[in-house]
């Protein structure tokens, strides 16, 4: 049986990403990091958490050792062209951490990949993943609830306003109650 989990993030945030990486590193099987494209590895959050050396190795070699664990990276494009994915890269007992995934990403992952566990950190909010959560009976991981993004270090007001607009421009506190 496949274990499917998600972190109910409220937009891209460091605590959710760190929590997801801790989960991935706690697994005892093949570790896969899914990003929509390799450009995600050049963005601030992954660079700060993984470090520039690890991100560069993942971009160049599609694999790297982080905290004594081998992690492979896959992208949406690699899944779209499934000939590029070798079963040695993604064995059926893999654990996959999907960073800032969209419903489109998850549709491809479910259709083309075999895996044992999957953890999803959505791009905007977990409401984006409502169909995936319901169709696959996905559970919230560890009752982890990220904090209000306005209290995060490096808070990006533009990104927060974009988030609020997308979700009917309601105050964060009211959105949380829904």
Condensed to tens digits (0 to 9), the pLDDT of residues 116-161 reads: 999 998 876 666 678 888 888 888 887 666 555 555 555 556 555 5
Q: Residue written as tokens 């959505």?
A: 122
Q: Is there a domain that residue 30 lies in?
A: yes
Domain assignment of residue 175, yes or no: no
Q: Which of 48-52, 79-83, 131-135, 145-149 has the highest mean predicted lDDT (pLDDT)?
A: 48-52
Please check whether residue 51 lies inside any domain of the structure.
yes
Residues contacting residue 27 through CB under 8 Å, at least 6 positions apart? 95, 117
The tens digit of pLDDT for each residue in 16-45 reads 888 899 999 999 999 999 998 899 899 888
Residue 174 in any domain: the answer is no
Q: Per the domain annotation, does 65 fall within a domain?
A: yes
Q: Does residue 178 fall inside a structural domain? A: no
Among 3-7, 11-15, 154-158, the minimum mean pLDDT is found in 154-158
Any idea what the CATH number is for the domain that residue 30 is in?
3.40.50
The pLDDT of residue 118 is: 95
Q: To which residue do tokens 């760190």 refer?
A: 18
Q: Which residue has the tokens 């070798």?
A: 86
Note the pLDDT of residue 140. 85
Give residue 144's pLDDT.
65
pLDDT at 31: 94
Quote the pTM value. 0.78
At which residue do the structure tokens 């007001």 appear? 157
Please give the residue range of the domain that contains residue 62. Answer: 3-146
Residue 169 lies in a domain: no
In a domain, 153, yes or no: no
Specify whether the CB–CB gap between 73 and 32 falls below 8 A: yes
Check: CB of residue 32 under 8 Å from CB of residue 99.
no
Give the total number of structural domains in the chain: 1
């Amino acid at each position: 049986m496949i274990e499917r989990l998600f972190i109910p993030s409220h937009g891209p945030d460091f605590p959710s990403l760190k929590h997801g990486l801790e989960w991935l590193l706690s697994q005892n099987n093949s570790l896969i990091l899914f990003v929509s494209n390799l450009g995600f590895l050049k963005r601030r959050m992954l660079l700060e958490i993984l470090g520039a050396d690890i991100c560069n190795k993942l971009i160049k070699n599609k694999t790297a050792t982080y905290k004594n664990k081998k992690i492979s990276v896959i992208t949406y494009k690699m899944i779209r062209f499934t000939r590029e994915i070798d079963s040695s890269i993604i064995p059926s007992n893999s654990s996959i951490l999907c960073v800032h995934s969209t419903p489109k990403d998850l549709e491809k992952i479910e259709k083309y990949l075999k895996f044992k566990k999957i953890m999803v950190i959505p791009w905007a909010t977990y409401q984006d993943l409502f169909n995936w959560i319901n169709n696959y009976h996905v559970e919230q991981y560890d009752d982890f609830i990220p904090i209000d993004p306005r209290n995060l270090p490096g808070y990006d007001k533009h990104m927060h306003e974009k988030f609020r607009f997308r979700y009917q421009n309601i105050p964060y506190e009211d959105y949380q109650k829904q």
